[in-house]
Structures are given as structure tokens and as C-alpha cells.
Amino acid sequence: MSDLPSQSKDAWSSSTYQTNASFVYSDENTSPVLRLLDPKLGERILDLGCGSGELTQRLSALVGPSGHVHGVDSSNSMVDAARSLGLTVSQGDMQALVLTAENQGSYDAVFSSAALHWCKDDPEGVVKGAYTALKKGGRFVGECGGFLNCVGVRTALHIVLKKRGHNAASLDPWYFTTPECLSTQISKHKFTRITALLHPRPTRLPTGLRGWLTTFTRTTWLAGLDDREAEAVMSEVEEMCGVDMRDEKGQWTMMYVRLRWSAVKE
């Protein structure tokens, strides 16, 4: 669930992720995309951007002992956390998926949750990798942040960083695309029966906006800033966004918009 553009240092901490962002893999938020995937007993499923493995573990239970789920994530911290659950997980970039000859064309489904929006460098590479991994008639199903995801917060980050002399566009790692754009990319690779739709999902933040910013921006957007400036940026973004995102009880809610898709390999 957490693939990132290539960086020399691991941009993720599985413990921080689990503390501040457990909503990413909660039953409530992942049930819709799992219903779309409809995993069956005995299936082989490739989980791209598997993160700390909680959802991969649920997939493994759904396919049963006669099936197999293989996770891939770019973060060593996330891979270690997923392996601690007893899962089969590889470290790698889902934008440039490496498959053995034996695994090419061997999967019944390729799945991805909350990961494609981190693939700004080459989102189409993810589609290409999924096609290579799938059997004929196999399913490519997933969900990611879509157009308008994190609206308000993303704008605030751009404003604050630009004001401080940074190139916000180059620091922004997110790829929040439209259903039309994603459908076009998928159709280039001989997928059929393509569906892609946006689903607004206001999401409560268990540790507030600061916890969210620490998890998702400190080591990505703000990776090149020293601690003092990064804290100042997050404080200013928090102040700007409070008027719309914090209710009268002090609870923070993020406006998530999820892009959910499915396609079948010809």
C-alpha cells in the first residue's frame, strides 16, 4: 500500500504508519475494493504496494491454503513488517516489476490498494507489470487516491513550500489521476472490461493532521528539509487547513477521494 518514488533512504516506518494511518487497511475502508476483486479459494494473487501486510494477510485467508498471495513493496520497513506476519513478500518497485519466467502469466489477479498514487514516475509501468503477471482472463483490480484526493492539504503544501522558495511541483510525489486517464492507460495494454470510478470518502484522522503529515509528507515532500523547517511547514499547513478539516470537538477529517478500477486481460 505504500510504494514510493525511488529514494536512497527508506521513506517509510511501518510503526509510524500503523499508528497514524491504520484507516488505510481497515475493514470499513477496504471492503469495497475487496468485493470488487472477489478473491476465490485457490487463486494466485499478486499484491502490489502491500505495505505492512494487513490487507495481504486478509487476501491470504480468502484464497485459503490451496491459493497463494505474493506481496511487493518498495519499503524495507514495510516488507519486514509484512514478513513478520508470515507472508511471502518481495522488496521491489511496482513501477518496474521484476518477474521470473515462471511467474509471468501465472496470476489469477493483480491487486493494489493505496499504492498507485505514489507511482508518479511511471504509473503506466504498473499497468504493464500487471499485464505481464496475469494469466489470460486474469483480473487487474485496485484502488488509489484519485482526482481531488487530499484537496486543501495538497494546495496548502504547495503554497507554504513555494513561499519558502522550494519547487513544490517537483517535491510533490502524488499522482491523483482521473478515471478517464487511468482507463486510457489500462486500455493501451490489451485489457478489456475496464471500469474506473471516483468514490469520495471523508476519513477521520486518528492522530490528527500532524500525525498524518508526519506519516505521509515528512519523508517524501519534506525529505530534503531539516527538522526545524519541516516542523514549521507542517505547523503552517495545519493552521491553514484547520478551518475546513477540524470540527468543533477538535477531530480532524481528511477529504479522501478514491479511484477504484477493474480490468480483465485479453
Q: Is residue 63 classed as helix, strand or coil in its secondary structure?
A: helix
pLDDT in tens, 11-40: 766 667 667 667 777 888 899 999 999 999
Q: Report the pLDDT value the prediction gives residue 2, as an integer from 0 to 100.
A: 37
Dist. CA 195–CA 182, nearest whole Å = 10
What pLDDT, on the 0 to 100 scale, is given for residue 12?
A: 63
What is the H or E stretch that residue 260 is in? strand 253-265
The model's pTM: 0.92
Residues in the chain with pLDDT < 50?
A: 1-8
Looking up cell 471492503 gives: 31
Cβ atoms within 10 A of the Cβ of 101, count? 7
For 59-73, write each residue's pLDDT tens digit: 999 999 999 999 999
Grid cell in block for residue 211: 500525525
Cell 478539516, residue? 245
What percentage of the chain reaches a pLDDT higher than 90? 89
